[in-house]
Structure 1
Amino acid sequence: MTTTTENQFVSVPELVQGENPVVQLESLCLRCEKQGETRLLLVNIPRFREVLVSSFECPHCGWRNSEVQEAAEISERGVQYELKVTSPADLQRTVVLSAYASLRIPEVELEAPASGRGRFTTVEGVLVQIAEDLRNYMSGHGSIDAENTSKLQELVTKLERYMAEGRGFHLIVEDPAGNSYLDVLDTDGKLWRFGRMKRFRRTHDMNVSLGIATDENATVGDANESATAPLSSQHVDPEGHSAESEAQRSFAKREVLRIPTECPSCGKPGENRIHETFVPHFQDILLIAFTCDYCGFKSSEVKPSGHCAEKGRKIALHVRNRNDFSRDLVKSDTARLVIPQAGLELEPGTLGSKFTTVEGIIRDARDALSELHRFVQSDDYRPDEIDQQQQRFRAFLHQLDDLLDSSAPEFDLILDDPLGNSFIQNPNAPAEDPQLRIEDYERTAEMNEALGIVPPTEICTN
């Protein structure tokens, strides 16, 4: 068995150069029930995500199978990519298809439905697979009349011409799960002029096909009833306590409070789940999560529980090793995040509120900036100035990647929160942590005004 290196994911350019750390496993062939070989490869697709490519081959019966597997959940929206192929180089653009992705080539009125399995290929690979499937269909169905056989053969000939010329057609990938990818970017990471990408709201039928909606005839009333049922039994107990007070007492016991609310994505009924928890050596916080059973939209946030702190707080952590990456971290939406060594400064409100780890907050920042970088363009600069900005931005993202991948990281992470509602874990608590520096400070009048806080002296004066 061949094992991978410490960095398990390999990039697509490394695959082209032949650097492919493949894991080989013996496994049973489902066709002849003899021992075959499964190969697993972790691939990092630029500007997309990591995927697991698996391939099986049986030396006894010759059966082969390959697919792409990913750990990603169904996205909040579906995605559609469109690429106009104008040169042979476009045939080598990366294509990742989830089990729910369909393909279209409008020039030949060809539409390939979802195959039910993931694939990692190229534009040329898509054409080759479609042509091969059509040939197999013609050879395996002797009942096809001459007219339809001629039409299918004409379609195969057109696909072969596209592969030979490398131009003259559009490829459209549509995935209601939002987990497919077609490389429609240029070498600088900007959206190519012959490429297009858009996200869309799923229909209810799409949600049913994805398995995230089961009852096509569900009514708003039924959903509201099921959402409110866990709150209380809607009665008065023998001691005279109302249902509302029962819910309040259960919430005080750290149970989950469920509040019906409309989904901000599709407008159908969902529910907010609110849970109060205590972070040791910090304070109580509220974890708020929303899930929509109709469109799959999800959101989560963290809110402080209790009174407003009298002073602001600045927390500085000096990261010395990878163990520091696992420290718990609470970032409120009023906190400013700074990593001086990487030149990262995120103003209050960026990323919202988070209850995560040191590694998690850096990854969230990196992913958010990466998504922003993909579609940022400006008409205020010359093309060479835009290229320079793009290069500096990519270098900045590489710095964050180096921080995350380093085996011996050393940098400072600073949270500056004027409300004092942010936190970085001290594993030595209650003893002091030499790597952690906490500074409380008086808020300025400008800070209080921006936060909507009226000092007690002003209340007494008024």
Structure 2
Amino acid sequence: MANSSVEEPEIIFKDLSADDGDQVPMEIESLCMQCHENGTTKLMCTRIPYYKQVIVISFLCDHCGFRNNELQSGESVQEFGTEIVLNVKTKEDLNRQVVKSEYASIEIPELDLVIPYKSQPGEITTVEGVLMRVKNGLEQDQDRRIQEHPEAAAQIDQFITKLMSFATLEKHFTLKLNDPSGNCYIQNPNPLHVDPRCIVSHYYRKLSDNKILGLSDDNDEEEDPKIVAEREWKSYEDVKQEVLRFHVDCPGCGAPVETCMKPTDIPYFKTVIIMATSCDTCGFKSNEIQASGPTQEYGCKLSCQITDELDLARDVLKCDTCNMAIPELEIEVGYGALSSRFTTVEGLLQATKEQLEEQSRFFMGDSAVDADDGTNKRTMQNVLDGIDEILALKRKATLLNGSHG
């Protein structure tokens, strides 16, 4: 008689929880780079709220006491690189959580400080933790340096003093985080509103970025943009009649894939360009819409009252420079937060809800740091419930959209 039970697949990445004692790390005997004796490396795959899958690595040598901790992303490389600029002005800004991979570079212009990529391992820390790590690194061997190179030691002491003036907020400063892999994040204390002191932007990676990530060969050379444009673009009228296909490397796994692109006309509006990429190797999928033609002379602001099913079925074209607000729920979504898309009012509300649920893990998950009265959790849950009520037409609302034209 055949066994009717179905064996469930093994769970590799488990949710990070302070109360979970079932997460047993994998132990590997490995060489200590300090004393060249054998130490122990522990590996654990886990999920961290918002940052998704990571691999935590910890090394300990019982012979010399050397320790090393590191975090590596378990996620695939994102479609775009990410740059985050934070103006640090308050204690709350110093306590913001920072997630970065080993490919991220950090810059503080006011200190003339640049930490290049791969000079530090990936980690989850705070803005204050970034400053303290720099301070601790500079203080290493400072006693020996005072004896052998007193002038250099004096300059380092001056730099540390200046650094601590920023850490104590005697002076405001700017923290820039640039990660070509796209796996970086700085926490927004109030995810229901646009962050007034933090700007997040995404960019297409250059060939040099792909070389850093190992997605391109070191001998590859950048093509002339004019040659690429002449090769890929035919006359505009001919292009509108066919789907263009051009070969690119998958942002997720680096395998060769095809990106499909086709202009199409939206009734009563204008021509837009639809681009789609799908990778059969890793399952990565991407869809993007870009408005054709130049930026309009004036921006525009649209308001829609959601009262019945016809309102939910209205077509919506949202560009990268468009923000969105729902006054009844006190929600405001900034530029580029939901990316460009051609959808419906219902689809836009669903996408907004999904993004808020993703961010709410910082406020509603096991690792959340909330006020004693649970205000953040209740507020977030009320907003999510409010969106469900609007989608079910149990609650009337106003959808506001504004862009640069």
What interval of TM-score do these two structures reach, taking the shorter chain for normalisation? 0.5 to 0.7
Q: 1:117 to 1:164 in 2, by over 3 A?
A: closer
Alpha-carbon contact 1:10-1:20 (below 8 Å) kept: no
Q: Report 1:216-295 matches (<5 A).
A: 267=229, 290-291=247-248
Partners of 2:173 and 2:200 in 1: CA distance: 17
Scaled by the length of structure 1, the TM-score of the pair is 0.47
SS at the partner of 1:80? strand
Structure 2 residue aligned with 1:127, among 127, 131, 146? 131
Partners of 2:170 and 2:11 in 1: CA distance: 39
1:57-106 Cα shifts (integer Å, max 9, x gaps) = 22331111122223445445432111122332333323233232211112
Is 2:327 the counterpart of 1:382? yes
Partners of 2:199 and 2:255 in 1: CA distance: 24
Q: 1:353 to 1:29 in 2, by over 3 A?
A: closer
Q: Report 1:369-448 matches (<5 A).
A: 377-378=323-324, 381-382=326-327, 384-386=329-331
Partners of 2:31 and 2:331 in 1: CA distance: 53
Higher RCO, Cα 8 Å, sep 6+: 2
Q: Quick one: which amino acid aligns to residue 10 of structure 1?
A: D
Q: Quick one: which amino acid aligns to residue 27 of structure 2?
A: L
Alpha-carbon contact 1:9-1:42 (below 8 Å) kept: yes
Is 2:53 the counterpart of 1:33? no
Partners of 1:169 and 1:146 in 2: CA distance: 29
Q: Quick one: which amino acid aligns to residue 25 of structure 1?
A: E
Alpha-carbon contact 2:85-2:200 (below 8 Å) kept: yes
Q: Give, in angstroms, the shift of residue 196 of structure 1.
A: 0.9
Partners of 2:223 and 2:259 in 1: CA distance: 28
Alpha-carbon contact 2:248-2:257 (below 8 Å) kept: yes
Partners of 2:130 and 2:114 in 1: CA distance: 12
Aligned residue number for residue 8 of structure 1: 13
Aligned residue number for residue 68 of structure 2: 65
Is 2:127 the counterpart of 1:106? no
Corresponding residue pairs, total: 283
Partners of 1:289 and 1:117 in 2: CA distance: 36
Aligned residue number for residue 435 of structure 1: none
1:379-428 Cα shifts (integer Å, max 9, x gaps) = 5x43744279999866556999xxxxxxxxxxxxxxxxxxxxxxxxxxxx
Of structures 1 and 2, the larger Rg is shown by 1
Aligned residue number for residue 181 of structure 2: 178
* Bigger Cα displacement from structure 2, 178-187 vs 127-136: 178-187
Structure 2 residue aligned with 1:82, among 58, 82, 85? 85
Q: Quick one: which amino acid aligns to residue 28 of structure 1?
A: S
Partners of 2:220 and 2:119 in 1: CA distance: 22
Q: Give, in angstroms, the shift of residue 36 of structure 1.
A: 2.2
Partners of 2:82 and 2:96 in 1: CA distance: 18
Q: Give, in angstroms, the shift of residue 37 of structure 1.
A: 4.2
Q: Give, in angstroms, the shift of residue 193 of structure 1.
A: 0.8
1:15-50 Cα shifts (integer Å, max 9, x gaps) = 5x787935141422423422424142413341x442
Aligned residue number for residue 279 of structure 1: none
Q: CA RMSD in A?
A: 5.1
SS at the partner of 1:126? helix
Partners of 2:175 and 2:14 in 1: CA distance: 28
Aligned residue number for residue 95 of structure 1: 98
Aligned residue number for residue 163 of structure 1: 167
Q: 1:8 to 1:88 in 2, by over 3 A?
A: same
Alpha-carbon contact 1:104-1:112 (below 8 Å) kept: yes
1:164-185 Cα shifts (integer Å, max 9, x gaps) = 449722211122x233413153
Q: Give, in angstroms, the shift of residue 299 of structure 1.
A: 5.3
SS at the partner of 1:115? coil
Scaled by the length of structure 2, the TM-score of the pair is 0.53
Aligned residue number for residue 198 of structure 1: 201
Q: 1:103 to 1:117 in 2, by over 3 A?
A: closer
1:102-158 Cα shifts (integer Å, max 9, x gaps) = 111122221112235532122222112111111115345467643332221122223
Partners of 2:222 and 2:86 in 1: CA distance: 38
Partners of 1:84 and 1:164 in 2: CA distance: 15
Partners of 1:385 and 1:219 in 2: CA distance: 47
Alpha-carbon contact 1:29-1:35 (below 8 Å) kept: yes
Alpha-carbon contact 1:204-1:213 (below 8 Å) kept: no
Partners of 1:75 and 1:397 in 2: CA distance: 16
Q: Give, in angstroms, the shift of residue 298 of structure 1.
A: 6.9
Q: Quick one: which amino acid aligns to residue 184 of structure 2?
A: Y
Q: 1:191 to 1:301 in 2, by over 3 A?
A: same
Q: Report 1:305-384 matches (<5 A).
A: 377-378=323-324, 381-382=326-327, 384=329
Runs of 5+ unmatched residues, structure 2: 1-9, 233-242, 262-272, 288-317, 334-345, 359-405
Q: 1:104 to 1:139 in 2, by over 3 A?
A: farther
Alpha-carbon contact 1:80-1:199 (below 8 Å) kept: yes
Alpha-carbon contact 1:84-1:171 (below 8 Å) kept: yes
Q: Give, in angstroms, the shift of residue 195 of structure 1.
A: 0.3
Aligned residue number for residue 21 of structure 1: 23
Q: 1:85 to 1:398 in 2, by over 3 A?
A: closer
SS at the partner of 1:378? strand
Partners of 2:257 and 2:221 in 1: CA distance: 25
Partners of 1:49 and 1:85 in 2: CA distance: 26
Partners of 1:58 and 1:25 in 2: CA distance: 13
Q: 1:198 to 1:91 in 2, by over 3 A?
A: same
Alpha-carbon contact 1:291-1:298 (below 8 Å) kept: yes
Aligned residue number for residue 55 of structure 1: 58
Is 2:126 the counterpart of 1:147? no
Q: 1:75 to 1:190 in 2, by over 3 A?
A: same
Partners of 1:291 and 1:392 in 2: CA distance: 30
Alpha-carbon contact 2:278-2:286 (below 8 Å) kept: no
